């Protein structure tokens, strides 16, 4: 009877009177209801429900992809690589001459990818296998160094003799100017007898090698001219944004609406390259080369390499965790590297002025080893390095490529505002100084007295020793003074005016005042001005480094003025090397003449060898090429 009642209660059948139910029956029913509610609440809390077949299949697929993530990524990369190779081959088949640039970039990329992969897998094994050679070199390191130094000296003498015989004595002035700057650096060095021969020889040697390859070989000059043309075309894409924002007549305000948008565009692109890791990879490779050859520490080498692409306030961010551990000499080297070069974004603005892109790109790269060489001579390392571990670089704060592009453009706002404000202020100050000096000069019957005139006389000996002709040396000296005391932007703007006057074909002299300078002097001036070494940048650099390492503020401030001088000397030394190298003659033609000279010497000393048919054909070919 009770079981029937319980079944009816559970099934909710009939109209049972609760008054006739016993306490046990009510207790059992309550427990059953509570248990049911507990199960429902537990199911609701856990969110569990009967999954459909489609949901189970999707979860299984997601689990499989998570388990084999690496293999899937590899397959996707192989498919994309195969498609890219097929595209390159197809482009070469359609028009090989047009696809040469794409082919070269592809081959270089493949080489470095394979190189990095091999070094990651077998680098330690190769390093251990080379242990006997390293031990042999370390035991004879002193003798090997002197052999290298003497070889460099002999090569320099031979170069000067052959090049002087071909071009005259003009480039000798640049060579002695280089020696003068090195001597002055050593004379006023912080520790004149503690500097390293290795840093000096390899620093100047890297400059010469790169300069010779770029400026005195047909292939090197053609390659950099191609790169410069592509850079100009690349930066012209900023005009699309300028036209959309400012209208069709945006070129009426050339500097603000044509030049400044290039900074925004390049800042965005560099931020994207930094996010994907390309900038970090490239800076690490260049920094490693300078560290190995010049014997500098990893931190200062990385900062010097970063200055090729970044500004003097941005490149220290690459070594921000290590700044508090740097020695005074390393801090000095980091600041000197910033003053001796310009950033990639500013480079685009100078190219838009009409300054030769080939010389600007060459100067930017050549300044990196020059800054380290001068910095380590002007303030040699005398302390024990606190941090000699390799520098690690991250990809920045952005989470994806679009965010990186947006952050890069936003960060350029402060740069554009700073540049415009400085240009307005310094141009106004220059006009004020000229007016005051003219007023004072008028009291002594010299109303033409101006800041530019004073700079032209103060810096004239330096510009002349860099290889500038005497007639042009006063104008170039004026540009150097404006760059040092005011701003390099103002100096390059005045240089662009000189270039435009020469291209316009106007008179060279008006009222006995020279209106423009020669192409050779323009090239030397381009190298001499290519740096942030001015007093405005000094304050910015001290402020940026002090913000990164507040505990080293006093050390950073004490290194500032010497670093500014060292940065200026680095630019002038690069200009000396450019003045020594810049010529219409090509190094391959000069090499043919050297081979012909060797041929005639062998013919005089060993006439039997000349009877060999192969040697005769080679020498006749070289003679026909030269003469």
Most confident of 263-272, 442-451, 473-482: 473-482
For 65-75, the pLDDT digits (tens) are 888 888 888 89
Phi, psi (5° rounding) for residue 99? -95, 10
Residue 599 has pLDDT above 60, yes or no: no
Calpha distance 347→269 (Å, rounded) = 14
| Segment 349-408, tens digit of pLDDT | 888 888 888 888 888 888 888 899 999 999 998 876 665 556 666 666 778 888 888 988
pLDDT confidence bin for 479, thresholds 50/70/90: very high
pLDDT (0 to 100) of residue 112: 85
Tell whether the model's pLDDT for residue 216 goes beyond 90: no
Q: Is the pLDDT assigned to residue 250 strictly greater than 90?
A: no
Question: HSE (CB half, 13 Å, CA atoms) of 85?
Answer: 8
Report percent pLDDT > 70 for the chain. Answer: 81
Shortest CA distance to 596 belongs to which of 576, 626, 569, 575? 626
Model pLDDT, residue 617: 52
Tokens describing residue 305:
């390499």
Q: How far apart are CA 506 and CA 444, in angstroms?
A: 34
User: What is the mean predicted confidence (pLDDT) over 85-93?
Assistant: 92
pLDDT at position 625: 43
Sequence-ordered alpha helix ranges (H) in 53-169: 53-67, 69-94, 100-129, 131-139, 141-167
* 327-341 confidence digits (pLDDT tens): 899 999 999 999 998
pLDDT band at 565 (very low <50, low <70, confident <90, very high): very high
Residues 6+ apart with CB under 8 A from 452: 434, 478, 481, 482
Query: How large is the average pLDDT for residues 540-569?
Result: 88
Asked if pLDDT for residue 611 goes beyond 60, the answer is: no
Report the pLDDT value the prediction gives residue 194, as an integer from 0 to 100. Answer: 82
DSSP3 helix / strand / coil % (the chain, rounded to 5)? 80, 0, 20
SS3 of residue 398 by DSSP? coil
pLDDT value of residue 10: 44
Model pLDDT, residue 398: 77
Of 31, 11, 15, 34, residue with least CA distance to 23: 31
Using a 10 angstrom Cβ sphere, with 0-12 exposed, 13-18 middle and 19 or more buried, the burial of residue 498 is buried
Q: Crossing angle, helix 260-276 and helix 344-353, to 10 degrees? A: 150
What are the phi and psi torsion angles at 612 (to 5°)? Answer: -70, 130
Distance separating alpha carbons of residues 359 and 578, to the nearest angstrom:
9
Residue 4, both tokens:
């029937």
Region of poorest pLDDT, from 225-234, 417-426, 514-523, 589-598: 589-598
CA distance 450 to 455: 9
Residues 14-36 have pLDDT tens digits of: 444 444 444 445 444 444 444 44
pLDDT digits (tens, 9 = 90+) for 145-160: 778 778 877 877 777 7
What pLDDT does residue 413 have? 84
Confidence of residue 227 (pLDDT cuts 50, 70, 90): confident
* pLDDT exceeds cutoff 50 at 279: yes
Q: For the chain, how long is the longest CA-to-CA vector?
A: 139
Please answer whether residues 579 and 466 qualify as being in contact, where contact means their C-beta atoms are separated by less than 8 angstroms.
yes
- Asked whether the beta carbons of 397 and 325 are under 8 A apart, the reply is no
CA distance 253 to 242: 11
Instruction: Report the C-alpha gap between 575 and 366 in whole angstroms.
Output: 10
When pLDDT is averaged across residues 422-431 and rounded to a whole number, the result is 80
Any bridge partners for residue 514, and if so which?
A: 509
Report the pLDDT value the prediction gives residue 596, as an integer from 0 to 100. 53
Encoded tokens for 270: 């560099």
Q: What mean pLDDT do residues 267-296 have?
A: 82
Q: Which of the two residues, 605 and 302, has the higher pLDDT score?
A: 302
């Amino acid at each position: 009877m009770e079981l029937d009642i319980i079944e009816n209660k559970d099934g909710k059948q009939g109209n049972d009177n609760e008054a006739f139910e016993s306490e046990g029956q009510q207790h059992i029913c309550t427990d059953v209801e509570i248990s049911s509610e507990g199960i429902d609440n537990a199911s609701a809390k856990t969110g569990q429900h009967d999954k459909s077949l489609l949901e189970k299949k999707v979860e299984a697929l997601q689990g499989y992809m998570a388990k084999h993530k690496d293999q899937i990524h590899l397959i996707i990369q192989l498919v994309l690589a195969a498609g890219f190779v097929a595209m390159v081959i197809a482009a070469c088949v359609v028009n090989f001459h047009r696809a040469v640039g794409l082919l070269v970039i592809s081959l270089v990329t493949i080489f470095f990818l394979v190189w990095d992969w091999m070094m990651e897998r077998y680098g330690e094994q190769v390093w251990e296998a080379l242990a006997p050679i390293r031990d042999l070199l370390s035991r004879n390191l002193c003798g090997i160094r002197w052999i290298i130094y003497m070889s460099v000296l002999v090569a320099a003498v031979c170069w000067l003799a052959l090049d002087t015989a071909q071009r005259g004595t003009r480039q000798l002035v640049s060579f002695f100017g280089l020696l003068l700057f090195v001597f002055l650096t050593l004379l006023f060095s912080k520790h004149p007898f503690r500097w390293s021969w290795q840093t000096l020889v390899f620093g100047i040697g890297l400059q010469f090698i790169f300069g010779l390859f770029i400026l005195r070989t047909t292939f090197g000059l053609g390659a950099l001219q191609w790169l410069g043309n592509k850079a100009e075309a690349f930066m012209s894409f900023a005009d699309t944004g300028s036209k959309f924002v400012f209208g069709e007549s945006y070129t009426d305000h050339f500097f603000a609406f044509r030049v400044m948008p290039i900074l925004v565009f390049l800042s965005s692109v560099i931020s994207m390259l930094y996010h994907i890791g390309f900038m970090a990879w490239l800076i690490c490779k260049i920094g490693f080369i300078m560290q190995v050859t010049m014997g500098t520490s990893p931190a200062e080498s990385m900062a010097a390499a970063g200055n090729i692409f970044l500004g003097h306030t941005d490149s220290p961010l690459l070594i921000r965790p290590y700044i508090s551990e740097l020695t005074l000499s390393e801090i000095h080297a980091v600041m000197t590297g910033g003053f001796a070069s310009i950033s990639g974004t500013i480079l685009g603005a100078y190219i838009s002025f009409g300054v030769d892109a080939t010389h600007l790109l060459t100067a930017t790269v050549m300044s990196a080893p020059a800054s380290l060489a001068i910095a380590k001579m002007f303030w040699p390392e005398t302390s024990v390095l606190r941090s000699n571990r390799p520098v690690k670089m991250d990809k920045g704060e952005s989470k994806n490529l679009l965010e990186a592009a947006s952050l890069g453009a936003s960060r350029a706002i402060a740069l554009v505002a700073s540049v415009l404000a400085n240009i307005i202020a310094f141009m106004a100050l220059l006009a004020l100084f000229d007016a005051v000096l003219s007023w004072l000069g008028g009291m002594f019957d010299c109303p033409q007295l101006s800041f530019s005139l004073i700079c032209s006389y103060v810096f004239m000996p330096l510009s002349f020793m860099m290889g500038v002709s005497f007639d042009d040396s006063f104008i170039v000296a004026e540009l150097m003074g404006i760059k040092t005391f005011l701003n390099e932007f103002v100096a390059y703007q005045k240089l662009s005016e000189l270039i435009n006057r020469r291209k316009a074909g106007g008179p060279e002299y008006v009222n006995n005042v020279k209106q423009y300078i020669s192409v050779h002097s323009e090239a030397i001036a381009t190298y001499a001005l290519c740096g942030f070494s001015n007093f405005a940048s000094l304050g910015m650099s001290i402020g940026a480094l002090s913000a990164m390492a507040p505990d080293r503020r006093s050390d950073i401030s004490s290194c500032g003025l010497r670093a500014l001088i060292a940065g200026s000397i680095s630019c002038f030394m690069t200009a000396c090397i450019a003045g020594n190298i810049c010529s219409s003659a090509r190094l391959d033609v000069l090499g043919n003449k050297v081979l012909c000279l060797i041929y005639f010497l062998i013919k005089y000393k060993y006439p039997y060898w000349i009877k060999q048919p192969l040697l005769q054909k080679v020498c006749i070919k070289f003679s026909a090429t030269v003469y």
